[in-house]
């Protein structure tokens, strides 16, 4: 999956510019009370596709692209308007934290790995504890706090 950052999908904002205020309010309420849920089916740089599910089990396919918002609901199909489902998708996308690309994924570190600080490559040490994305390193100049704020990278073998 690619980045969900709205800057990579400017068409997300265009949905919100085109929707009527009453449909926008219904979409905001549906997100707030969780009466509509969003399930991502496909996302690329050119489109976002989801299923928006109502509490009664009805699902609508929604696609956002540069050319517009498309939904399988009667409001969009017969009235030709930007519906609350497309609006829910746009709002949902804006609310999602930015996902990391493959290049930005943290390296898997293991106890015993030799690492160096990114900001100060001369500072090298050995991983002594790993917990999620937190690591503790025994630096060559003595042990330090867990590396919450210090970026480290694996040394080449």
How far apart are alpha carbons 108 and 7 in whole angstroms? 28
Handedness of CA 93, 149, 152, 131 (dihedral sign): negative
Q: What is the pLDDT of residues 35-53, one digit of tens each?
A: 999 998 988 888 899 999 9
Give the end of a domain, one of 85, 102, 119: 102
Contact (CB, 8 A) for 1 and 43: yes
**CATH number of the domain bearing residue 120:** 2.30.30
Say if residue 14 is in the same domain as residue 60.
yes
The confidence score (pLDDT) of residue 3 equals 43
Q: What is the pLDDT of residues 55-108, one digit of tens each?
A: 888 999 999 998 889 999 999 999 999 999 999 999 988 887 655 444 444 567
CA 122 remoteness from chain centre: 34
Given a cut of 80, is residue 1 above it in pLDDT? Answer: no
In this structure, what token pair is assigned to residue 74?
Answer: 């009667």
Domain count, the chain: 2
pTM over 0.95: no
Residue 26 lies in a domain: yes
Say if residue 98 is in the same domain as residue 110.
no
**CATH number of the domain bearing residue 42:** 3.30.160
Structure letter (DSSP) for residue 152: E
Say if residue 72 is in the same domain as residue 11.
yes
Which domain covers residue 90, as residue numbers? 6-102
Say if residue 52 is in the same domain as residue 118.
no
Structure letter (DSSP) for residue 118: S
How far apart are alpha carbons 27 and 50 in whole angstroms? 15
How far apart are alpha carbons 110 and 127 in whole angstroms? 7
Say if residue 32 is in the same domain as residue 95.
yes
The confidence score (pLDDT) of residue 142 equals 62
Say if residue 110 is in the same domain as residue 90.
no
Contact (CB, 8 A) for 48 and 89: yes
Contact (CB, 8 A) for 71 and 62: yes
Residue 16 lies in a domain: yes
Residue 1 lies in a domain: no
């Amino acid at each position: 999956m690619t980045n969900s950052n709205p800057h990579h999908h400017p068409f997300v904002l265009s949905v919100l510019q085109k929707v009527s205020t009453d449909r926008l309010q219904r979409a905001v309420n549906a997100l707030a009370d969780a009466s509509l849920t969003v399930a991502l089916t496909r996302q690329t740089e050119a489109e976002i596709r989801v299923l928006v599910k109502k509490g009664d089990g009805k699902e609508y396919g929604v696609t956002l692209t540069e050319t517009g918002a498309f939904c399988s609901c009667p409001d969009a199909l017969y009235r030709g308007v930007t519906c609350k489902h497309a609006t829910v998708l746009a709002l949902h996308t804006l609310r999602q934290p930015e996902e990391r690309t493959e290049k930005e994924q943290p390296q898997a570190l293991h106890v015993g790995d030799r690492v160096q600080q990114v900001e100060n490559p001369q500072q090298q040490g050995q991983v002594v504890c790993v917990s999620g994305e937190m690591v503790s390193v025994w630096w060559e100049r003595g042990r330090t706090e867990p590396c919450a704020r210090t970026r480290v990278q694996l040394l080449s073998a």
